[in-house]
């Protein structure tokens, strides 16, 4: 689908205290006017990829490069069902929509972030392909069913709660710290939701690498591809990308390191 955004005009809605953005949308099928509401402090950013836009907020949530790297790394089937866990404001399903013709479900536990994601999906006219679900990944299998997804992606909270500093913003704290789900919770959810032979793709911190590998194998998710991410050639790894196969056989490929300063930001 080709989408062109003609104008973004912010107007106050006195009844709701929101900003109302009227966006002209054209595609190959029709020309329609859609109205997207923004809360104070929210903005619309250009993802710089095929006209995709996203709603963000410095105070609430803005995605980081780890989400983009995960979307690039994930091997997504052209058809079938895809799931993104810990979706935040929905950047990963938006980017994955350019790699697959299948449907994408995305789960987010925070109501405000889930609402941002839903509005971003509507902003791009992708409601027929992307479904945002407000819910807890630990219990989502009861709603979705076991082994129903061909591929699962997840950018989980990286930091365990150890009594140290937790980000002052409630939204960022939940997104970054294991307040509502642990690493084990995330891996268990992925294992229960993906089909046998389906792929689970994750980005995380290198300091948790051994914990991740141990947990994946415990839940019958066999690691298949690993790539460490560095800022530049002389820097330590700051992130690690991991792909695992449900019920797969041992055969791990350690890919060349990825240097962020050398990557092509428009390649998906």
Could you give the CA distance from residue 165 to residue 190 in angstroms, rounded to a whole number? 28
Give residue 35's pLDDT: 77
Cα 162 to its chain centre, rounded Å, is 25
Residue 16 binned pLDDT confidence (cut-offs 50, 70, 90): very low
pLDDT the model gives residue 243: 98
53-75: average pLDDT: 93
For the cut 80, the answer to whether the pLDDT of residue 7 exceeds it is no
Residue 160 confidence (pLDDT) = 78
Say what the pLDDT of residue 164 is. 57
Average pLDDT over residues 25-33: 33
Q: What value, to the nearest 5°, has the Cα angle with vertex 198 and ends 192 and 202?
A: 75
Say if residues 70 and 153 touch (Cβ distance below 8 Å).
yes
- Flag the least confident range among 55-59, 190-194, 196-200, 228-232: 55-59
Q: Against a cut of 0.95, is the pTM above it?
A: no
Average pLDDT rounded to a whole number, residues 24-48: 67
Pair 215, 242: CB distance under 8 Å: no
More confident of the two residues 69 and 174: 69
**Residue-level pLDDT at 18:** 47
Residue carrying structure tokens 């609402």: 115
Q: Identify the bridge partners of residue 133 per DSSP, sorted by sequence position.
A: 107
- Asked if the model's pLDDT at residue 245 lies above 70, the reply is yes
Please report the pLDDT score of residue 237 as a whole number.
Answer: 97
Tokens matching residue 245: 């196969």
Look over the chain and give the mean of its residue pLDDT values, rounded to a whole number: 85
CATH architecture of the domain covering 63-262: 3-Layer(aba) Sandwich (3.40)
Residue 161's pLDDT is: 73
Which residues lie closer than 8 Å to 253 by C-beta, 6 or more apart? 224, 225, 226
**pLDDT mean over 215-237:** 97
As a whole number of angstroms, the distance between CA 125 and CA 52 comes to: 10
Q: Tell me, what's the pLDDT at 59?
A: 84
φ and ψ of 72, to 5 deg? -65, -45
Average pLDDT of span 67-74: 96
Tokens of 229: 């991410």
DSSP-derived pairing of the beta strands 253-254 and 42-46:
unpaired
pLDDT tens digits, one per residue of 98-146: 999 999 999 999 999 999 999 999 999 999 999 999 999 999 999 999 9
Please report the pLDDT score of residue 38 as a whole number: 93
Please report the pLDDT score of residue 3 as a whole number: 32
pLDDT band at residue 199 under the 50/70/90 scheme:
very high
- Residue 101 class from Cβ within 10 Å (0-12 exposed, 13-18 middle, 19+ buried)? exposed
Task: Give the rounded percent of residues in the chain with a pLDDT score beyond 90.
Answer: 71
Return the higher-pLDDT residue of 210 and 27. 210
Residues 6+ apart with CB under 8 A from 82: 76, 93, 96, 100, 102, 103, 104, 105, 149, 150, 151, 152, 153
């Amino acid at each position: 689908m080709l989408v062109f955004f003609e104008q973004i005009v912010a107007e106050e809605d006195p009844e709701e205290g929101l900003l109302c953005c009227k966006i002209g949308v054209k595609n190959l099928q029709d020309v329609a006017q859609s109205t997207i509401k923004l809360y104070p402090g929210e903005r619309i950013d250009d993802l710089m990829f095929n006209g995709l836009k996203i709603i963000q907020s410095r105070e609430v949530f803005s995605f980081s490069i780890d989400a983009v790297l995960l979307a690039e790394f994930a091997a997504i089937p052209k058809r079938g069902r895809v799931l993104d866990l810990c979706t935040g404001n929905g950047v990963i399903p938006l980017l994955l929509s350019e790699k697959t013709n299948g449907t994408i479900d995305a789960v987010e536990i925070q109501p405000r972030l889930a609402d941002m994601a839903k509005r971003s999906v509507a902003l791009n006219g992708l409601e027929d392909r992307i479904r945002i679900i407000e819910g807890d990944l630990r219990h989502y299998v009861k709603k979705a069913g076991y082994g129903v997804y061909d591929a699962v992606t997840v950018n989980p909270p990286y930091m365990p709660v150890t009594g140290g500093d937790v980000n002052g913003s409630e939204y960022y704290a939940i997104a970054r710290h294991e307040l509502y789900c642990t690493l084990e919770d995330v891996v268990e959810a992925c294992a229960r939701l993906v089909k046998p032979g389906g792929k689970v793709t994750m980005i995380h911190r290198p300091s948790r690498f051994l914990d991740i590998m141990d947990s994946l194998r415990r839940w019958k998710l066999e690691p298949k591809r690993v790539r460490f991410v560095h800022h530049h050639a002389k820097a330590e790894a700051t992130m690690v990308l991991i792909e695992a196969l449900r019920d797969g056989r041992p055969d791990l490929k350690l890919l060349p390191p990825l240097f962020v300063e050398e990557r092509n930001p428009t390649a998906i």
